[in-house]
Amino acid sequence: MSLAAAEQGLVDVIKEHTGFQTGYADLPALAQDEILESPFYILNPIPGGLSKGSMARDYEILSPLMQIATIGVEPGQARQAHDRLHEVLQTYWAEVPGLMGPPSVNIGGIVRTDERHYTITDTVYVEVTLQ
């Protein structure tokens, strides 16, 4: 088990259970028309976080921080995709390898990011076991 496997598992769970494309630290691979029509998510790891355990045992528990951006073409679409994201995080967290409980989420506000998109960025805290 590794932190990268847990983060990729989170991306996979979000994509599978929301039905929307999800990128890891970058835009998901979308066609131009999908970017202009469908909501999508981007998971960005934040450097740092906490660790618990012994250095000799390669830290048994990590508590990384990440941001998950929900991007939609209209405010209502972004809010609906954002609500769906929170349902998925609370319902399907056990499917993510190594995740020890549901994520804690600091909810962000909605911001118009360009002429075509609205973004809601949440800060997410999880605990991952490396065993």
Domain tally for the chain?
Answer: 1
Domain of residue 36 covers 3-129
Token digits for 40?
Answer: 């999508």
* pLDDT digits 0-9 by tens, 15-54: 999 999 999 988 887 766 666 688 999 999 888 777 666 6
**How would you classify residue 25: left for phi > 0, otherwise alpha for psi between -120 and 50, otherwise beta?**
left
- The per-residue pLDDT for range 97-125, each reduced to its tens digit, is 888 889 999 999 999 988 889 999 999 99
Q: Among candidates 94, 99, 103, which has minimal Cα distance to 67?
A: 103
* Whole-prediction pTM: 0.85
Phi, psi (degrees; rounded to nearest 5) at 129: -95, 140
Per residue in 89-98, pLDDT tens?
A: 999 999 998 8
Rounded to 10 deg, the angle between the 75-91 and 3-18 helix axes is: 120
CATH number of the domain encompassing residue 106: 3.30.2000.10
